[in-house]
Structure 1
Amino acid sequence: MLWTQIVEPRPFAGWRLVCFPHAGGSPYFFRDWGGALPWAEVHAVCYPGRAERFGEPCATDLTAMAREIAVELLAPDDDRPLALFGHSMGATVAYEVTRALEAAGRTVRHLFASGARAPQSHVPDSAAAATWDEAAITRTLVELGGTEPELLRNRAFVELVLPYIGADFRMLAAYGGGSARPLACPLTALVGADDPRVTAAQTAAWGEVTRGAFARHTLPGGHFYLEQAPPHEVLATVLGAGASSGLTGRDTSPPARTPGPATACG
Protein backbone atom coordinates (compact mmCIF):
# COMPACT_ATOMS: atom_id res chain seq x y z
CA MET A 1 0.00 0.00 0.00
CA LEU A 2 1.09 3.55 -0.67
CA TRP A 3 -0.06 5.36 2.46
CA THR A 4 0.00 2.68 5.15
CA GLN A 5 2.36 -0.03 6.29
CA ILE A 6 1.39 -3.05 8.37
CA VAL A 7 3.64 -2.97 11.41
CA GLU A 8 3.17 -6.68 12.14
CA PRO A 9 0.79 -8.77 10.01
CA ARG A 10 -2.03 -10.11 12.14
CA PRO A 11 -4.95 -10.93 9.84
CA PHE A 12 -6.92 -12.70 12.57
CA ALA A 13 -6.69 -9.85 15.09
CA GLY A 14 -10.03 -8.43 16.13
CA TRP A 15 -9.21 -4.79 15.32
CA ARG A 16 -7.53 -2.79 12.59
CA LEU A 17 -5.74 0.18 14.19
CA VAL A 18 -4.37 2.85 11.86
CA CYS A 19 -1.76 5.15 13.43
CA PHE A 20 -0.85 8.63 12.17
CA PRO A 21 2.53 10.14 13.17
CA HIS A 22 3.32 13.73 14.13
CA ALA A 23 4.78 16.42 11.86
CA GLY A 24 8.13 15.17 10.63
CA GLY A 25 7.23 11.68 11.85
CA SER A 26 7.35 8.41 9.98
CA PRO A 27 5.74 4.98 10.35
CA TYR A 28 8.81 3.92 12.38
CA PHE A 29 7.37 5.89 15.29
CA PHE A 30 4.87 3.04 15.78
CA ARG A 31 7.24 0.15 15.05
CA ASP A 32 6.84 -1.36 18.54
CA TRP A 33 3.06 -1.11 18.67
CA GLY A 34 2.42 -4.27 16.67
CA GLY A 35 4.01 -6.52 19.27
CA ALA A 36 2.51 -4.57 22.16
CA LEU A 37 -1.09 -4.77 20.90
CA PRO A 38 -1.80 -8.44 20.16
CA TRP A 39 -5.50 -7.72 19.75
CA ALA A 40 -4.95 -5.42 16.77
CA GLU A 41 -3.28 -5.36 13.39
CA VAL A 42 -1.45 -2.03 13.49
CA HIS A 43 -1.12 -0.02 10.28
CA ALA A 44 1.21 3.00 10.35
CA VAL A 45 0.75 5.88 7.93
CA CYS A 46 3.70 7.11 5.87
CA TYR A 47 3.44 10.70 4.66
CA PRO A 48 5.32 11.54 1.43
CA GLY A 49 8.85 12.93 1.60
CA ARG A 50 10.28 10.55 4.24
CA ALA A 51 11.12 6.92 4.97
CA GLU A 52 10.22 4.72 1.97
CA ARG A 53 8.64 7.76 0.30
CA PHE A 54 11.68 10.01 0.69
CA GLY A 55 11.92 10.82 -3.02
CA GLU A 56 8.33 12.06 -3.27
CA PRO A 57 7.27 15.70 -2.92
CA CYS A 58 5.90 16.55 0.51
CA ALA A 59 2.18 17.14 0.89
CA THR A 60 1.00 20.74 1.05
CA ASP A 61 -2.73 20.36 1.72
CA LEU A 62 -3.63 18.41 4.86
CA THR A 63 -7.28 17.85 3.97
CA ALA A 64 -6.49 16.67 0.45
CA MET A 65 -3.84 14.29 1.83
CA ALA A 66 -6.34 12.91 4.33
CA ARG A 67 -8.84 12.21 1.57
CA GLU A 68 -6.24 10.20 -0.33
CA ILE A 69 -5.47 8.16 2.77
CA ALA A 70 -9.19 7.54 3.26
CA VAL A 71 -9.51 6.20 -0.30
CA GLU A 72 -6.79 3.66 0.44
CA LEU A 73 -8.43 2.62 3.71
CA LEU A 74 -11.72 2.06 1.90
CA ALA A 75 -10.12 -0.30 -0.60
CA PRO A 76 -9.33 -3.47 1.41
CA ASP A 77 -11.97 -6.13 1.83
CA ASP A 78 -11.60 -6.00 5.59
CA ASP A 79 -14.70 -5.92 7.76
CA ARG A 80 -12.86 -5.78 11.08
CA PRO A 81 -13.74 -2.80 13.30
CA LEU A 82 -11.54 0.16 12.46
CA ALA A 83 -9.96 2.56 14.96
CA LEU A 84 -7.69 5.52 14.21
CA PHE A 85 -4.96 6.93 16.46
CA GLY A 86 -3.19 10.17 15.61
CA HIS A 87 -0.53 12.07 17.52
CA SER A 88 -0.03 15.83 17.23
CA MET A 89 -0.40 16.74 13.53
CA GLY A 90 -1.36 13.09 13.05
CA ALA A 91 -4.46 13.66 15.20
CA THR A 92 -5.63 16.35 12.81
CA VAL A 93 -4.94 14.12 9.81
CA ALA A 94 -6.78 11.22 11.49
CA TYR A 95 -9.75 13.50 12.15
CA GLU A 96 -9.93 14.52 8.49
CA VAL A 97 -9.57 10.88 7.40
CA THR A 98 -12.43 9.97 9.74
CA ARG A 99 -14.57 12.71 8.18
CA ALA A 100 -13.84 11.35 4.70
CA LEU A 101 -14.51 7.75 5.70
CA GLU A 102 -17.83 8.60 7.34
CA ALA A 103 -18.85 10.64 4.29
CA ALA A 104 -18.20 7.52 2.19
CA GLY A 105 -20.35 5.38 4.49
CA ARG A 106 -17.49 3.62 6.34
CA THR A 107 -17.91 3.24 10.08
CA VAL A 108 -14.99 4.29 12.22
CA ARG A 109 -15.40 2.65 15.61
CA HIS A 110 -13.15 5.05 17.51
CA LEU A 111 -10.86 8.03 16.97
CA PHE A 112 -7.98 8.70 19.39
CA ALA A 113 -6.60 12.26 19.20
CA SER A 114 -3.31 12.61 21.06
CA GLY A 115 -1.29 15.73 21.83
CA ALA A 116 -3.25 18.07 19.57
CA ARG A 117 -5.54 21.06 19.63
CA ALA A 118 -9.05 20.42 18.37
CA PRO A 119 -9.51 21.12 14.65
CA GLN A 120 -11.95 24.01 15.09
CA SER A 121 -9.14 26.01 16.76
CA HIS A 122 -7.07 25.93 13.56
CA VAL A 123 -7.34 29.04 11.39
CA PRO A 124 -5.37 29.15 8.13
CA ASP A 125 -2.41 31.50 8.61
CA SER A 126 -0.18 32.02 5.60
CA ALA A 127 2.00 34.44 7.57
CA ALA A 128 2.61 31.81 10.26
CA ALA A 129 3.39 29.23 7.60
CA ALA A 130 6.07 31.51 6.19
CA THR A 131 7.82 31.80 9.57
CA TRP A 132 8.76 28.13 9.70
CA ASP A 133 12.40 28.61 8.76
CA GLU A 134 15.26 26.44 10.00
CA ALA A 135 15.76 28.38 13.23
CA ALA A 136 12.06 28.29 14.15
CA ILE A 137 11.77 24.59 13.38
CA THR A 138 14.85 23.76 15.45
CA ARG A 139 13.58 25.79 18.43
CA THR A 140 10.22 24.04 18.26
CA LEU A 141 11.76 20.58 18.08
CA VAL A 142 13.84 21.33 21.18
CA GLU A 143 10.78 22.69 23.02
CA LEU A 144 8.60 19.70 22.17
CA GLY A 145 11.31 17.24 23.11
CA GLY A 146 10.83 14.87 20.21
CA THR A 147 14.39 15.09 18.88
CA GLU A 148 17.72 14.64 20.63
CA PRO A 149 19.55 18.02 20.81
CA GLU A 150 22.76 16.31 19.64
CA LEU A 151 21.06 15.35 16.39
CA LEU A 152 20.04 18.94 15.77
CA ARG A 153 23.71 19.91 15.94
CA ASN A 154 24.51 17.39 13.22
CA ARG A 155 24.42 19.32 9.96
CA ALA A 156 23.91 16.24 7.81
CA PHE A 157 20.91 15.20 9.89
CA VAL A 158 19.40 18.68 9.77
CA GLU A 159 19.74 18.92 5.99
CA LEU A 160 18.10 15.49 5.67
CA VAL A 161 15.04 15.98 7.85
CA LEU A 162 14.28 19.70 7.95
CA PRO A 163 12.74 19.88 4.45
CA TYR A 164 9.93 17.48 5.31
CA ILE A 165 9.53 18.66 8.91
CA GLY A 166 9.21 22.22 7.66
CA ALA A 167 6.76 21.14 4.97
CA ASP A 168 4.58 19.45 7.61
CA PHE A 169 4.66 22.50 9.89
CA ARG A 170 3.72 24.81 7.02
CA MET A 171 0.93 22.46 5.93
CA LEU A 172 -0.50 22.42 9.45
CA ALA A 173 -0.28 26.22 9.71
CA ALA A 174 -2.27 26.49 6.47
CA TYR A 175 -4.98 24.11 7.70
CA GLY A 176 -8.38 25.40 8.77
CA GLY A 177 -10.73 23.07 10.64
CA GLY A 178 -13.76 25.22 10.02
CA SER A 179 -17.24 24.27 11.25
CA ALA A 180 -17.66 20.81 9.78
CA ARG A 181 -20.49 18.47 10.64
CA PRO A 182 -19.67 16.59 13.88
CA LEU A 183 -18.34 13.07 13.57
CA ALA A 184 -20.52 10.09 14.42
CA CYS A 185 -17.77 8.00 15.99
CA PRO A 186 -16.72 8.01 19.65
CA LEU A 187 -13.60 10.07 20.34
CA THR A 188 -10.96 9.95 23.05
CA ALA A 189 -8.50 12.83 23.46
CA LEU A 190 -5.17 12.33 25.21
CA VAL A 191 -2.50 14.82 26.27
CA GLY A 192 0.69 14.84 28.32
CA ALA A 193 0.35 16.72 31.61
CA ASP A 194 3.45 18.79 30.80
CA ASP A 195 2.80 19.38 27.10
CA PRO A 196 4.15 22.89 26.35
CA ARG A 197 1.88 23.47 23.34
CA VAL A 198 -1.47 21.80 24.10
CA THR A 199 -3.53 22.65 27.16
CA ALA A 200 -6.17 20.58 28.90
CA ALA A 201 -8.84 23.01 27.71
CA GLN A 202 -7.73 22.64 24.10
CA THR A 203 -7.84 18.87 24.54
CA ALA A 204 -11.36 19.03 25.98
CA ALA A 205 -12.52 20.96 22.89
CA TRP A 206 -12.27 17.73 20.88
CA GLY A 207 -15.60 16.83 22.47
CA GLU A 208 -17.27 19.47 20.28
CA VAL A 209 -16.40 17.67 17.02
CA THR A 210 -18.30 14.44 17.64
CA ARG A 211 -21.87 13.34 18.32
CA GLY A 212 -20.49 10.12 19.76
CA ALA A 213 -19.20 9.42 23.25
CA PHE A 214 -16.24 11.56 24.33
CA ALA A 215 -13.59 11.13 27.01
CA ARG A 216 -10.23 12.72 27.67
CA HIS A 217 -7.17 11.53 29.55
CA THR A 218 -4.19 13.46 30.83
CA LEU A 219 -1.12 11.25 31.08
CA PRO A 220 2.30 11.79 32.68
CA GLY A 221 4.89 13.41 30.43
CA GLY A 222 5.29 16.13 27.83
CA HIS A 223 4.32 16.44 24.20
CA PHE A 224 5.94 13.11 23.36
CA TYR A 225 4.67 11.34 26.48
CA LEU A 226 3.98 8.23 24.37
CA GLU A 227 7.66 7.63 23.64
CA GLN A 228 8.26 6.57 27.24
CA ALA A 229 4.77 5.31 28.04
CA PRO A 230 2.60 4.53 25.00
CA PRO A 231 -1.11 4.64 25.92
CA HIS A 232 -1.65 1.00 25.04
CA GLU A 233 -3.73 0.27 28.12
CA VAL A 234 -6.03 3.21 27.42
CA LEU A 235 -6.58 1.99 23.87
CA ALA A 236 -7.25 -1.58 24.97
CA THR A 237 -9.64 -0.49 27.70
CA VAL A 238 -11.59 1.98 25.57
CA LEU A 239 -11.96 -0.56 22.76
CA GLY A 240 -12.74 -3.38 25.16
CA ALA A 241 -9.81 -5.31 23.76
CA GLY A 242 -7.58 -5.83 26.78
CA ALA A 243 -7.31 -5.86 30.53
CA SER A 244 -9.55 -3.22 32.07
CA SER A 245 -8.07 -0.43 34.14
CA GLY A 246 -11.35 1.35 34.79
CA LEU A 247 -10.59 4.23 32.45
CA THR A 248 -13.47 3.84 30.00
CA GLY A 249 -15.86 6.77 29.98
CA ARG A 250 -14.07 8.51 32.83
CA ASP A 251 -12.28 11.87 32.68
CA THR A 252 -8.87 11.32 34.26
CA SER A 253 -7.74 14.89 33.66
CA PRO A 254 -7.17 17.70 36.15
CA PRO A 255 -9.22 20.89 35.76
CA ALA A 256 -8.61 22.59 32.43
CA ARG A 257 -6.03 25.36 32.20
CA THR A 258 -6.72 28.59 30.38
CA PRO A 259 -5.53 28.10 26.80
CA GLY A 260 -2.58 30.17 25.62
CA PRO A 261 -2.01 31.67 22.17
CA ALA A 262 -2.69 29.25 19.33
CA THR A 263 0.48 28.30 17.46
CA ALA A 264 1.17 25.53 14.99
CA CYS A 265 2.90 22.51 16.42
CA GLY A 266 3.80 19.08 15.20
Structure 2
Amino acid sequence: MTKGTPVAIADTETTQWIRRFHPSAASSTRLVCLPHAGGSASFYYPVSQKLAPAVDVVAIQYPGRQDRLRDQGVPDIERLADHIADELARLTPKPTVLFGHSMGAAIGFELALRLERAGAGAVELVASGRRAPSTTRPERVHLLGDDAIIAEMATLNGTSGAVLADEEILRMSLPALRNDYRAIETYRAPADRRLRTPITVLTGDADPKTTMAEAEAWRGHTEGEFRVEVYPGGHFFLAEHQDAVRAQLTRALAAGRTAV
Protein backbone atom coordinates (compact mmCIF):
# COMPACT_ATOMS: atom_id res chain seq x y z
CA MET A 1 0.00 0.00 0.00
CA THR A 2 1.20 3.49 -0.74
CA LYS A 3 2.01 6.00 1.98
CA GLY A 4 0.12 9.19 2.73
CA THR A 5 -3.41 10.09 3.74
CA PRO A 6 -5.91 8.71 1.20
CA VAL A 7 -8.78 10.82 -0.09
CA ALA A 8 -12.01 9.43 1.37
CA ILE A 9 -14.70 7.90 -0.85
CA ALA A 10 -18.35 8.21 0.19
CA ASP A 11 -20.40 5.02 0.61
CA THR A 12 -22.34 5.82 -2.57
CA GLU A 13 -19.41 6.69 -4.84
CA THR A 14 -17.78 4.80 -7.67
CA THR A 15 -14.18 5.24 -8.81
CA GLN A 16 -11.87 3.97 -11.50
CA TRP A 17 -11.47 0.72 -9.53
CA ILE A 18 -14.72 0.54 -7.57
CA ARG A 19 -18.23 -0.10 -8.91
CA ARG A 20 -21.37 0.16 -6.80
CA PHE A 21 -24.44 -0.95 -8.71
CA HIS A 22 -26.88 -0.36 -5.83
CA PRO A 23 -25.19 2.22 -3.58
CA SER A 24 -26.52 2.74 -0.09
CA ALA A 25 -25.29 4.96 2.71
CA ALA A 26 -27.24 2.84 5.23
CA SER A 27 -25.28 -0.41 4.78
CA SER A 28 -23.75 -1.97 7.89
CA THR A 29 -21.30 -4.39 6.25
CA ARG A 30 -19.29 -4.51 3.04
CA LEU A 31 -18.71 -7.23 0.42
CA VAL A 32 -15.72 -6.73 -1.88
CA CYS A 33 -16.10 -8.78 -5.10
CA LEU A 34 -13.06 -9.70 -7.18
CA PRO A 35 -13.60 -11.00 -10.75
CA HIS A 36 -12.00 -13.93 -12.54
CA ALA A 37 -9.47 -13.68 -15.39
CA GLY A 38 -11.07 -11.72 -18.21
CA GLY A 39 -13.98 -10.85 -15.96
CA SER A 40 -15.38 -7.47 -15.04
CA ALA A 41 -17.19 -5.84 -12.15
CA SER A 42 -20.55 -6.40 -13.84
CA PHE A 43 -20.19 -10.17 -13.23
CA TYR A 44 -21.28 -9.39 -9.67
CA TYR A 45 -24.33 -7.27 -10.51
CA PRO A 46 -26.73 -10.07 -9.47
CA VAL A 47 -24.96 -10.36 -6.10
CA SER A 48 -25.35 -6.63 -5.54
CA GLN A 49 -28.97 -6.74 -6.61
CA LYS A 50 -29.76 -9.39 -3.99
CA LEU A 51 -27.70 -8.11 -1.03
CA ALA A 52 -28.06 -4.32 -1.30
CA PRO A 53 -28.97 -2.02 0.38
CA ALA A 54 -28.17 -3.78 3.67
CA VAL A 55 -24.70 -4.60 2.31
CA ASP A 56 -22.31 -2.22 0.58
CA VAL A 57 -21.42 -4.40 -2.42
CA VAL A 58 -18.17 -3.14 -3.94
CA ALA A 59 -17.22 -4.80 -7.24
CA ILE A 60 -13.66 -4.25 -8.45
CA GLN A 61 -13.05 -3.19 -12.04
CA TYR A 62 -9.59 -4.23 -13.20
CA PRO A 63 -7.92 -2.14 -15.92
CA GLY A 64 -8.12 -3.16 -19.58
CA ARG A 65 -11.84 -4.00 -19.88
CA GLN A 66 -15.21 -2.35 -20.47
CA ASP A 67 -14.97 1.34 -19.53
CA ARG A 68 -11.28 0.80 -18.61
CA LEU A 69 -10.41 -0.70 -21.97
CA ARG A 70 -7.66 1.85 -22.63
CA ASP A 71 -6.07 1.48 -19.19
CA GLN A 72 -2.85 -0.50 -19.01
CA GLY A 73 -3.31 -3.96 -17.53
CA VAL A 74 -1.44 -5.08 -14.42
CA PRO A 75 0.11 -8.51 -15.10
CA ASP A 76 0.96 -9.19 -11.46
CA ILE A 77 -1.36 -10.44 -8.70
CA GLU A 78 0.48 -8.73 -5.87
CA ARG A 79 0.55 -5.36 -7.64
CA LEU A 80 -3.18 -5.67 -8.34
CA ALA A 81 -3.73 -6.33 -4.64
CA ASP A 82 -1.67 -3.24 -3.80
CA HIS A 83 -3.84 -1.04 -6.03
CA ILE A 84 -7.08 -2.44 -4.63
CA ALA A 85 -5.88 -2.14 -1.02
CA ASP A 86 -5.14 1.53 -1.66
CA GLU A 87 -8.69 2.02 -2.96
CA LEU A 88 -10.28 0.22 -0.03
CA ALA A 89 -8.27 2.35 2.40
CA ARG A 90 -10.34 5.31 1.15
CA LEU A 91 -13.65 3.74 2.20
CA THR A 92 -15.53 4.22 5.46
CA PRO A 93 -14.43 1.36 7.76
CA LYS A 94 -17.00 -1.44 7.94
CA PRO A 95 -16.86 -5.19 8.63
CA THR A 96 -15.73 -6.54 5.26
CA VAL A 97 -15.97 -9.90 3.52
CA LEU A 98 -13.75 -10.54 0.49
CA PHE A 99 -15.21 -12.70 -2.29
CA GLY A 100 -13.11 -13.71 -5.28
CA HIS A 101 -13.64 -16.27 -8.02
CA SER A 102 -10.72 -17.99 -9.80
CA MET A 103 -8.02 -15.32 -10.28
CA GLY A 104 -10.10 -13.14 -7.96
CA ALA A 105 -9.59 -15.67 -5.13
CA ALA A 106 -5.81 -15.30 -5.39
CA ILE A 107 -6.13 -11.51 -5.43
CA GLY A 108 -8.46 -11.79 -2.44
CA PHE A 109 -5.81 -13.72 -0.52
CA GLU A 110 -3.14 -11.10 -1.19
CA LEU A 111 -5.62 -8.33 -0.45
CA ALA A 112 -6.51 -9.91 2.89
CA LEU A 113 -2.82 -9.92 3.82
CA ARG A 114 -2.56 -6.21 3.05
CA LEU A 115 -5.67 -5.36 5.03
CA GLU A 116 -4.31 -7.26 8.02
CA ARG A 117 -1.01 -5.39 7.84
CA ALA A 118 -2.94 -2.11 7.80
CA GLY A 119 -4.93 -3.09 10.87
CA ALA A 120 -8.16 -3.43 8.90
CA GLY A 121 -8.44 -7.19 8.48
CA ALA A 122 -11.41 -8.70 6.69
CA VAL A 123 -14.06 -10.71 8.52
CA GLU A 124 -13.60 -13.58 6.07
CA LEU A 125 -12.16 -14.51 2.69
CA VAL A 126 -14.49 -16.53 0.49
CA ALA A 127 -12.25 -18.10 -2.17
CA SER A 128 -14.16 -19.63 -5.07
CA GLY A 129 -12.94 -21.79 -7.95
CA ARG A 130 -9.22 -21.56 -7.20
CA ARG A 131 -6.59 -23.86 -5.81
CA ALA A 132 -4.54 -22.79 -2.78
CA PRO A 133 -1.96 -20.03 -3.38
CA SER A 134 1.01 -22.32 -2.70
CA THR A 135 -0.06 -25.03 -5.16
CA THR A 136 1.37 -24.85 -8.66
CA ARG A 137 0.66 -26.21 -12.13
CA PRO A 138 2.64 -25.80 -15.36
CA GLU A 139 0.09 -23.47 -17.01
CA ARG A 140 1.13 -21.41 -20.04
CA VAL A 141 -2.12 -20.20 -21.60
CA HIS A 142 -0.85 -16.60 -21.65
CA LEU A 143 1.93 -17.67 -24.04
CA LEU A 144 -0.44 -19.30 -26.55
CA GLY A 145 -2.04 -17.79 -29.66
CA ASP A 146 -5.37 -15.99 -29.66
CA ASP A 147 -7.32 -19.01 -30.90
CA ALA A 148 -5.98 -21.16 -28.05
CA ILE A 149 -7.00 -18.56 -25.47
CA ILE A 150 -10.49 -18.38 -26.99
CA ALA A 151 -10.71 -22.17 -26.82
CA GLU A 152 -9.74 -22.06 -23.13
CA MET A 153 -12.51 -19.55 -22.47
CA ALA A 154 -15.06 -21.74 -24.21
CA THR A 155 -13.92 -24.84 -22.30
CA LEU A 156 -14.36 -23.17 -18.91
CA ASN A 157 -17.75 -21.63 -19.85
CA GLY A 158 -16.79 -18.37 -18.24
CA THR A 159 -17.74 -16.16 -21.18
CA SER A 160 -21.23 -15.76 -22.55
CA GLY A 161 -22.07 -17.28 -25.91
CA ALA A 162 -22.91 -13.80 -27.22
CA VAL A 163 -19.37 -12.58 -26.56
CA LEU A 164 -17.79 -15.68 -28.07
CA ALA A 165 -19.96 -15.24 -31.17
CA ASP A 166 -19.03 -11.57 -31.62
CA GLU A 167 -15.51 -11.59 -33.02
CA GLU A 168 -15.02 -7.82 -32.69
CA ILE A 169 -15.86 -7.79 -28.96
CA LEU A 170 -13.86 -10.96 -28.46
CA ARG A 171 -10.73 -9.55 -30.10
CA MET A 172 -11.04 -6.37 -28.02
CA SER A 173 -11.12 -8.44 -24.82
CA LEU A 174 -8.11 -10.62 -25.66
CA PRO A 175 -5.36 -8.26 -24.41
CA ALA A 176 -6.98 -8.05 -20.97
CA LEU A 177 -7.56 -11.78 -20.89
CA ARG A 178 -3.95 -12.56 -21.85
CA ASN A 179 -2.77 -10.07 -19.22
CA ASP A 180 -4.90 -11.74 -16.56
CA TYR A 181 -3.68 -15.21 -17.51
CA ARG A 182 -0.10 -13.96 -17.27
CA ALA A 183 -0.81 -12.56 -13.81
CA ILE A 184 -2.38 -15.70 -12.39
CA GLU A 185 -0.15 -18.22 -14.15
CA THR A 186 3.03 -16.55 -12.89
CA TYR A 187 1.72 -15.99 -9.35
CA ARG A 188 3.51 -17.90 -6.60
CA ALA A 189 2.95 -17.79 -2.83
CA PRO A 190 5.08 -19.63 -0.28
CA ALA A 191 3.41 -22.32 1.82
CA ASP A 192 4.02 -20.35 5.01
CA ARG A 193 2.16 -17.23 3.82
CA ARG A 194 -0.78 -17.22 6.23
CA LEU A 195 -3.72 -15.07 7.19
CA ARG A 196 -5.39 -14.61 10.53
CA THR A 197 -8.58 -14.08 8.51
CA PRO A 198 -10.90 -17.13 8.28
CA ILE A 199 -11.16 -18.73 4.84
CA THR A 200 -14.10 -20.47 3.20
CA VAL A 201 -13.33 -22.28 -0.05
CA LEU A 202 -16.07 -22.92 -2.62
CA THR A 203 -15.30 -25.46 -5.32
CA GLY A 204 -16.99 -27.47 -8.06
CA ASP A 205 -16.64 -31.24 -7.90
CA ALA A 206 -15.77 -31.34 -11.62
CA ASP A 207 -13.61 -28.21 -11.81
CA PRO A 208 -10.61 -28.96 -14.06
CA LYS A 209 -8.72 -26.08 -12.42
CA THR A 210 -9.01 -27.26 -8.80
CA THR A 211 -8.79 -30.74 -7.30
CA MET A 212 -10.13 -31.48 -3.84
CA ALA A 213 -6.57 -31.76 -2.54
CA GLU A 214 -5.76 -28.32 -4.00
CA ALA A 215 -8.90 -26.86 -2.43
CA GLU A 216 -8.07 -28.39 0.97
CA ALA A 217 -4.55 -26.95 0.72
CA TRP A 218 -6.03 -23.52 1.48
CA ARG A 219 -6.21 -24.76 5.09
CA GLY A 220 -2.49 -24.14 5.46
CA HIS A 221 -2.91 -20.46 4.57
CA THR A 222 -4.95 -19.35 7.59
CA GLU A 223 -4.65 -19.44 11.34
CA GLY A 224 -8.38 -18.76 11.53
CA GLU A 225 -11.42 -20.93 10.90
CA PHE A 226 -11.48 -22.91 7.66
CA ARG A 227 -14.13 -24.71 5.66
CA VAL A 228 -14.61 -26.17 2.18
CA GLU A 229 -17.99 -26.26 0.46
CA VAL A 230 -18.32 -28.50 -2.61
CA TYR A 231 -20.96 -28.04 -5.31
CA PRO A 232 -21.83 -30.06 -8.40
CA GLY A 233 -20.31 -28.49 -11.50
CA GLY A 234 -17.19 -27.25 -13.22
CA HIS A 235 -15.11 -24.11 -12.97
CA PHE A 236 -18.10 -21.75 -13.06
CA PHE A 237 -20.26 -23.87 -10.74
CA LEU A 238 -21.37 -20.67 -8.97
CA ALA A 239 -23.55 -19.72 -11.95
CA GLU A 240 -25.65 -22.82 -11.28
CA HIS A 241 -25.67 -22.44 -7.50
CA GLN A 242 -26.23 -18.73 -6.98
CA ASP A 243 -28.56 -19.16 -4.01
CA ALA A 244 -26.16 -21.49 -2.19
CA VAL A 245 -23.17 -19.23 -2.85
CA ARG A 246 -25.13 -16.19 -1.72
CA ALA A 247 -26.04 -18.07 1.47
CA GLN A 248 -22.33 -18.49 2.21
CA LEU A 249 -21.76 -14.77 1.70
CA THR A 250 -24.75 -13.91 3.88
CA ARG A 251 -23.41 -16.15 6.65
CA ALA A 252 -19.98 -14.47 6.50
CA LEU A 253 -21.52 -11.00 6.48
CA ALA A 254 -23.73 -11.87 9.46
CA ALA A 255 -20.61 -12.90 11.36
CA GLY A 256 -19.21 -9.45 10.61
CA ARG A 257 -22.27 -7.74 12.06
CA THR A 258 -22.06 -9.89 15.19
CA ALA A 259 -18.40 -9.04 15.65
CA VAL A 260 -19.05 -5.28 15.77
Q: TM-score range by the shorter chain?
A: 0.7 to 0.9
2:79 to 48, 64, 72: 64
Residue 12 (structure 1) shift? 1.7
Q: Which residue of 2 aligns with 1:251?
A: none
Residue 150 (structure 1) shift? 5.9
Once the two structures are superposed, residues 87-142 of structure 1 have per-residue CA deviations (whole angstroms, 9 ceiling, x without a partner) of 0000001111111111121121110000001101147x7x8365332122122112
Give the letter aligned to residue 46 of structure 1. Answer: Q
Quick one: structure 1 residues 129 and 60, their matched pair in 2 at CA, closer, same or farther if it must change by over 3 Å? same
Native 8 Å contact 2:29 2:253 kept in 1 = no
2:152 to 125, 128, 140: 140
Q: Which residue of 2 aligns with 1:32?
A: 46
Quick one: structure 1 residues 143 and 49, their matched pair in 2 at CA, closer, same or farther if it must change by over 3 Å? same
Give the letter aligned to residue 146 of structure 2. Answer: E
| Percent of matched pairs sharing the same residue | 35
Q: Which residue of 2 aligns with 1:118?
A: 132
- CA distance in 2: counterparts of 1:179 and 1:196, whole angstroms: 22
Q: Which residue of 2 aligns with 1:167?
A: 179
1:50 to 62, 65, 70: 65
1:23 to 13, 34, 37: 37
Give me the TM-score of the superposition, normalised by structure 2. 0.85
Is 1:189 the counterpart of 2:201 in the alignment? yes
- CA distance in 2: counterparts of 1:208 and 1:18, whole angstroms: 23
Give the letter aligned to residue 186 of structure 1. Answer: P
Is 1:94 the counterpart of 2:108 in the alignment? yes
Query: How many residue pairs are counted as aligned between the two chains?
Result: 239
- CA distance in 2: counterparts of 1:66 and 1:130, whole angstroms: 20
Is 1:4 the counterpart of 2:18 in the alignment? yes
Q: Which residue of 2 aligns with 1:253?
A: none
Q: Choose 25-34 or 172-181, whichever is displaced more.
A: 172-181
Q: Choose 221-230 or 202-211, whichever is displaced more.
A: 221-230
